[in-house]
């Protein structure tokens, strides 16, 4: 990638102010295959200044003009879709087919949904003689994670553009190349200079400078709860809007009337998708006490059916976790589960047999997990499932809600009305009934320490809008 050592600022690829560089590591081999420039607060100042200048004119464009721009972005994105899939597969370690169909494909789905949203969105409405007008919030900072990188970039940057905002993106330094490719897509689509700017760097340097910058009006952040707390503190002195999608520890309640063979197998596979590196992964499987052993046997078979290996192998169903830091964290938490008395029924510590290099984790299932255990409370972000027995429906709901997180929850039942009743009692931003298809039009975000605000569709668009009332506007 020719622009890997530059930043995209004010419509041009520019040299960074500093000299620091960071290697991009292939998780399958533990070897560097590229490097990117690392930014400084001076680079952030330059990017924010470009966004601030551009806001004066871009904020005055019409919704129709911005919708046309989103359509052009989709056209160019589709032209480079396969390149995007290959890039994410290499830097994240995701199996190639999954990287194309989902990691890259989800970007297209968000753009499709945003176009549908903008076509019908009520930018203005009358309330008596008052005109209620939706206007762009201003200059926004976008700080995105490594696990679903283009998903989070597109579901922030695209609605921000549609709203009339200008922005500075700091993507994860772990998976930065897809963001550089996205900048090239926006440039080719004709996004005006200064509307979109990109500076690579780490959180403590570049992310902190963005969150605290006095000319940034809003921060949209996806990442850990710990980092989200720090960003909120940095943003507080300037009272900027802070929109956060943070951690999760999602419960998957299997009610006693469900087909266990199908429901347990699907739950294991959903937990292990993307090597377990999804904030809304169903990592706590709650099963009736009387059927615990049955669920464990099914989960063991489902885990052992996975093929862990390099991203470019056709038979691979699960790649590595993303980095040495993540590998060590997952291994430490597996060890904690063992030390606290949970029963390992599949996987465990160490790499899978025959994989001596690469950040590969064994697909791991724990049984007889108690709600107080570390593996039942901390977000592991790896292919680790905790099976937890419950006494009755009320007990299952209590266990599910007994978490500092509230991003997502799952309910499986042969009785759809029963599943619906349980869903209304769960303290989570999204509840998925009987493993539905992914929905780009559903609001996404969490309760409690899983964040605030919502993304996707009209909720994602509204996140970047201010509401103005012009009183006495007239008939």
Domain boundaries, the chain: 7-246+450-470, 251-439
Q: How high is the pLDDT of residue 1?
A: 63
Residue that the structure tokens 């200079």 belong to: 193
Q: Alpha-carbon distance 423 to 410, whole Å?
A: 8
Burial of residue 227 (CB within 10 Å: 0-12, 13-18, 19+) is: buried
Residue 87 token pair = 């890039």
- Give yes or no for residue 191 having a pLDDT over 90: yes
What pLDDT does residue 208 have?
97
pLDDT digits (tens, 9 = 90+) for 196-239: 999 999 999 999 999 999 999 999 999 999 999 999 999 999 99
191-214 b/e (C-beta count within 10 Å ≥ 16 → b) = bbebbbbbbbbbbebbbbbbbbbe
| pLDDT tens digits along 62-106 | 999 999 999 999 999 999 999 999 999 999 999 999 999 999 999
Residue 41: DSSP 8-state? H
The C-alpha atoms of residue 167 and residue 165 are separated, in whole angstroms, by 7
Share of the chain above pLDDT 90, in %: 99
Q: Same fold for the domain at 7-246+450-470 and the one at 251-439? A: no
Give pLDDT, residue 2. 75
Q: Is residue 54 scored above 90 in pLDDT?
A: yes
Is it the case that residue 467 has pLDDT exceeding 80? yes
Gyration radius (Cα) of the chain, Å? 23
User: Confidence class of residue 475 from pLDDT cuts 50, 70 and 90?
Assistant: confident
- Superfamily for the 7-246+450-470 domain: Aldehyde Dehydrogenase; Chain A, domain 1 (3.40.605.10)
What are the catalytic residues?
A: 245, 279
Residue 441 in this model has a pLDDT that exceeds 70: yes
pTM score over 0.85: yes
Rounded to the nearest integer, the mean pLDDT of the chain is 98
Residue 189 has pLDDT above 70, yes or no: yes
Pair of tokens at residue 141? 């900072």
CATH (one of 3.40.50.300, 3.90.79.10, 1.10.10.10, 3.40.309.10) for 251-439: 3.40.309.10
Question: β-pairing, 465-470 with 130-136?
Answer: antiparallel
């Amino acid at each position: 990638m020719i622009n890997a050592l530059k930043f995209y600022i004010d419509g041009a690829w520019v040299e960074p102010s500093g000299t620091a560089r960071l290697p991009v590591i292939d998780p399958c081999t533990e070897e560097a295959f590229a490097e990117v420039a690392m930014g400084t607060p001076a680079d952030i100042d330059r990017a924010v200044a470009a966004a601030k200048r551009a806001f004066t004119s871009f904020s005055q464009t019409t919704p129709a003009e911005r919708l046309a721009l989103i359509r052009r972005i989709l056209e160019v994105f589709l032209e480079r879709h396969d390149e995007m899939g290959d890039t994410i597969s290499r830097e994240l370690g995701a199996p190639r087919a999954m990287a194309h169909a989902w990691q890259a494909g989800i970007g297209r789905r968000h753009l499709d949904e945003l176009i549908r949203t903008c076509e019908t969105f009520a930018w203005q409405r009358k309330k008596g003689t008052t005109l209620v007008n939706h206007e762009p919030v201003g200059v926004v900072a976008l700080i995105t994670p490594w696990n679903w990188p283009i998903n989070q970039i597109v579901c922030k940057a695209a609605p921000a553009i549609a709203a009339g905002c200008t922005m500075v993106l700091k993507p994860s330094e772990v998976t930065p190349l897809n963001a550089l490719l996205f900048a090239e897509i926006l440039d080719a689509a004709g996004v005006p200079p200064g509307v979109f700017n990109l500076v690579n760097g780490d959180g403590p340097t570049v992310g902190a400078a963005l969150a605290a910058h006095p000319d940034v009006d809003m921060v949209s952040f996806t990442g850990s709860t710990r980092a989200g707390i720090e960003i909120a503190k940095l943003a507080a002195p300037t009272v900027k809007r802070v929109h956060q999608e943070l951690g999760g520890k999602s419960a998957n309640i299997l009610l006693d009337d469900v087909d266990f063979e199908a429901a347990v197998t699907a739950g294991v596979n959903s937990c292990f998708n993307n090597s377990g590196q999804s904030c809304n992964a169903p990592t706590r499987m709650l099963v009736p006490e009387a059927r615990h052993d049955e669920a464990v046997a099914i989960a063991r078979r489902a885990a052992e059916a996975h093929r862990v290996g390099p991203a470019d192998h056709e038979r691979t169903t699960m790649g590595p976790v993303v980095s040495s830091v993540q590998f060590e964290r997952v291994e430490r938490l597996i060890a904690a589960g063992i030390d606290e008395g949970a029963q390992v029924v599949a996987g465990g510590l160490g790499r899978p047999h025959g994989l001596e290099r690469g950040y590969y984790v064994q697909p791991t299932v724990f049984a007889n997990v108690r709600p107080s255990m570390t593996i039942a409370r901390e977000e592991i972000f790896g292919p680790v499932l905790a099976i937890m027995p419950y006494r009755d429906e009320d007990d299952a709901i209590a266990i599910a809600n007994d978490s500092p997180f509230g991003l997502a929850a799952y309910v499986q039942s042969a009785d759809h009305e029963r599943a619906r009743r349980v869903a209304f009692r769960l303290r989570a931003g999204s509840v998925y009934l009987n493993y539905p298809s992914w929905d780009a039009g559903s609001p996404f975000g969490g309760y409690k320490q899983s964040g605030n605000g919502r993304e996707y569709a009209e909720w994602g668009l509204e996140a970047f809008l201010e509401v103005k009332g012009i009183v006495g506007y007239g008939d």
